[in-house]
Amino acid sequence: MVVLAKGELEQIALPAAEPPPADVRSVDLSAPAGPAREAAARALVAACEEHGFFRVTGHGVPARLVRAAEAAAAGFFARPQGEKEEEGPTLGYGSKRIGGNGDLGWVEYLLLGGTPAAAPSSALLPCAAAPSPSAPAGPLRDLLDEYTVAVRRMACAVLELMAEGLGIAGGAGDAVLARLVARADSDCMLRVNHYPPRPALNPSLTGFGEHTDPQIISVLRANGTSGLEIALRDGAWASVPPDGDAFFVNVGDTLQVLTNGRFRSVRHRVVVNSEKSRVSMVFFGGPPPGERLGPLPQLLGDGGRSRYRDFTWSEFKTSGCRTRLAEDRLSRFEKK
Ligand SMILES: C=C1C[C@]23C[C@@]1(O)CC[C@H]2[C@@]12CC[C@H](O)[C@@](C)(C(=O)O1)[C@H]2[C@@H]3C(=O)O
Ligand SMILES: O=C(O)CCC(=O)C(=O)O
Ligand SMILES: [Fe+2]
């Protein structure tokens, strides 16, 4: 349940009009080596340049795992508020407050370190309720861990195809982009969001306010309920048609930097105007804390100028956690 205090509803109320549907490109991860894979890699690069957002097909994540994880999460959110809060520390449970700087949404969520079975480091989750490392896992956590392993593998496959499309794939085992998310100390997370139906007689509400994701990529799915919107290049909002079987990928701020601004970190938000609950599961693929990040030299070209100064992931994350959700977290790393 999301309970709002007096005055909070006004902060998250939105005009009711739903924007037009976005033209979301699909990328087939299972395309066989040769012309089909080359076409998929080209489509992926074009989507990252245009919207910073695309749908993935042929992803290989078992449907039964997706359904089981989603049903278990929905079961958790249906429990009495007291029980959810009691279990909060083990699962990173939060309600309506997003981050620590005053952002509110019509949402409750779980936020978990995404390196399954590893003790989540609270140093890497400075703005979230970090799950307690000593707590027993439990069946829900086990399922979400299994889901995270599968989606993380898919995120790495997406990054490999991306590197091919960019012409920077290098030799076998090089994995210039995928290695950043695949390492044991990569700072990955899983967030499960539950948006209860809009209360009767209320206007549309902000479920999750507009923002870009700070990481490299985010892999998202939801239970076939509308609400996700992306900002197009001209700033206009477009709604993402609901699709309970698809995975969607967001380009994050860090990938925008690695590509020196060629790829676009997509601004997105969730609007709640439906009578149906929305449950989304979002995997955030981030690099190891000490990794130095900046535009990849292979993408600068001869005499190309880097648009960003280098930083470590922990530096970026620490500075990002001090920002409000809608802020531009990259501007302070742009070179003048
Ligand atoms: C307001 C905030 C919430 C957030 C940390 C921040 O200070 C700014 C970035 C936010 C965001 C957006 C994407 C993910 O949902 C998230 C976990 C992340 O890595 O950055 C959230 C952060 C959060 O909820 O703590
Ligand atoms: O719930 C969604 O569909 C999107 C949530 C989101 O953008 C996030 O958790 O960062
Ligand atoms: Fe997001």
Distance between start and end Cα atoms, the chain: 46
Please indicate, yes or no, if residue 279 is contained in any of the structural domains: yes
For residues 312 and 17, the model is more confident at 312
pLDDT at 17: 78
pLDDT band at 262 (very low <50, low <70, confident <90, very high): very high
Please indicate, yes or no, if residue 4 is contained in any of the structural domains: no
Q: Which atom of ligand 2 is nearest to the CA of 222?
A: 3
Q: Per-residue pLDDT for 125 more than 50?
A: no
Express each pLDDT in 53-80 by its tens digit: 999 999 999 999 999 999 999 999 999 9
Rounded distance between C-alpha atoms, residue 13 and residue 8, angstroms? 9
Positive or negative, the Cα torsion across 331, 316, 89, 272?
Answer: positive
Q: Which range is least confidently modeled, 32-41, 105-114, 172-181?
A: 172-181
Please indicate, yes or no, if residue 283 is contained in any of the structural domains: yes
Express each pLDDT in 212-246 by its tens digit: 999 999 999 999 999 999 999 999 999 999 999 99
What the block records as the tokens of 224 is: 């076939």
Nearest to 149 by CA among 314, 249, 285: 285
Q: Per-residue pLDDT for 119 more than 50?
A: no
Put residue 20 in one of left, alpha, beta given phi > 0 → left and psi -120 to 50 → alpha: beta
What share of the chain in percent tops pLDDT 90?
A: 79
Which residues are CB-contacts of 104 (< 8 A; sequence separation ≥ 6)? 4, 8, 11, 12, 96, 97, 98, 206
Q: Is the CB of 217 under 6 A from ligand 2?
A: no
- CA 36 to centroid of ligand 2, rounded, Å: 31
Please indicate, yes or no, if residue 1 is contained in any of the structural domains: no
* Closest listed ligand to the CA of 99: 1
Residues forming beta bridges with residue 103, ordered by sequence position: 98
Torsion angle, alpha carbons of 128, 131, 133, 135, to 10: 160
pLDDT at 18: 84
Q: How many domains does the chain have?
A: 1
Which segments of the chain does DSSP mark as H helices, in order? 8-12, 35-50, 63-77, 81-91, 138-166, 178-182, 253-258, 297-300, 313-320
Q: Per-residue pLDDT for 129 more than 80?
A: no
Q: Which CATH number fits the domain that encloses residue 299? A: 2.60.120.330
Please indicate, yes or no, if residue 6 is contained in any of the structural domains: no
Contact in structure between 70 and 63 (CB atoms under 8 Å)? no
* Closest listed ligand to the CA of 326: 1
Ligand 1: residues whose CB is within 6 Å?
98-99, 101, 103, 127-128, 189, 191, 211, 213-214, 284, 320-321, 323-325
Please indicate, yes or no, if residue 58 is contained in any of the structural domains: yes
Q: Which atom of ligand 1 is nearest to the CA of 215?
A: 19
pLDDT at 71: 97
Please indicate, yes or no, if residue 3 is contained in any of the structural domains: no
pLDDT band at 314 (very low <50, low <70, confident <90, very high): very high
Q: What is the mean pLDDT of the chain?
A: 90
pLDDT at 1: 63
Express each pLDDT in 161-192 by its tens digit: 999 999 999 766 679 999 999 999 999 999 99
Please indicate, yes or no, if residue 158 is contained in any of the structural domains: yes
Range(s) of the domain holding residue 133: 24-333
